[in-house]
């Protein structure tokens, strides 16, 4: 599910800005995790996993896209390394923490706690979204105040634009 969500939201983010995808992605992930707490119902477990996977795919794609949009092209390697370090550390520490909590409280309570912890991301996401929705230098659809889109208005898919583009102004755009 996460793969399809990344593809669809990648296209949406390219056209309308990735910043507006963070909040729905986090809410969907947390909702899916909360539904997983209903472990006695197999349909709820499958439905929760699908909703979680969709939200995770949306959030994963949007956060990486936002990080790339906020640095010059020369910083893409650093952004990729930092994002992947945070992703891997979160997966490892989160799994260990989940296991420790589940051993004491059981799976349903662990899923509820994980859902609540995921929602803490909404505070910085809302602050970032408000900062990016107004102010000088805001570009429609970018979701970022004062941050130029490094790929101009090309019609290529985002991954191609990131690989082959230059900052506006350097190439006459």
Detail the DSSP E strand segments found in 56-166: none
> What local confidence, expressed as pLDDT, does residue 155 receive?
38
Whether the pTM exceeds 0.85: the reply is no
Structure tokens, 38: 């209903």
Structure tokens, 37: 């707490």
Structure tokens, 169: 């102004």
| pLDDT, mean of residues 97-104 | 96
> What local confidence, expressed as pLDDT, does residue 1 receive?
66
* Predicted confidence (pLDDT) at residue 167 exceeds the cutoff of 80: no
Cα separation of 99 and 93, whole Å?
Answer: 10
Cα separation of 10 and 40, whole Å?
Answer: 35
* Predicted confidence (pLDDT) at residue 72 exceeds the cutoff of 80: yes
> What local confidence, expressed as pLDDT, does residue 83 receive?
94
Cα separation of 49 and 35, whole Å?
Answer: 8
CB 141 within 8 A of CB 16: yes
* Predicted confidence (pLDDT) at residue 96 exceeds the cutoff of 80: yes
Q: Which of 119, 147, 113 is nearest to 131 (CA)?
A: 147
Percentage with pLDDT > 90 across the chain: 54
More confident residue, 97 or 158: 97
* Predicted confidence (pLDDT) at residue 169 exceeds the cutoff of 70: no
Report the greatest alpha carbon distance in the chain.
61
> What local confidence, expressed as pLDDT, does residue 128 receive?
85
> What local confidence, expressed as pLDDT, does residue 2 receive?
67
Mean pLDDT of the chain: 79
CB 51 within 8 A of CB 35: yes
Place of tokens 């309308």: 16
More confident residue, 97 or 154: 97
CB 145 within 8 A of CB 137: yes
Residue 8 belongs to what H/E stretch?
A: helix 2-16
| pLDDT, mean of residues 130-142 | 47
């Amino acid at each position: 599910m996460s793969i399809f969500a990344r593809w669809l939201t990648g296209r949406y983010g390219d056209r309308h800005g990735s910043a507006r995808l963070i909040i729905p992605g986090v809410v969907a992930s947390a909702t899916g995790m909360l539904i997983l707490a209903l472990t006695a119902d197999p349909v709820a477990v499958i439905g929760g996993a699908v909703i979680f996977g969709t939200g995770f795919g949306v959030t994963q794609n949007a956060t990486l896209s936002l990080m790339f949009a906020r640095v010059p092209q020369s910083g893409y390697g650093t952004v990729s390394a930092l994002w992947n370090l945070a992703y891997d550390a979160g997966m490892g520490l989160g799994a260990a923490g989940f296991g420790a909590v589940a051993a004491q409280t059981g799976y349903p309570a662990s899923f509820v706690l994980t859902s609540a912890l995921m929602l803490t991301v909404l505070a910085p996401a809302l602050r970032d979204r408000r900062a990016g929705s107004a102010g000088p230098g805001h570009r429609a659809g970018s979701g970022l105040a004062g941050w130029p889109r490094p790929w101009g208005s090309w019609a290529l898919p985002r991954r191609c634009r990131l690989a082959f583009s230059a900052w506006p102004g350097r190439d006459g755009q």
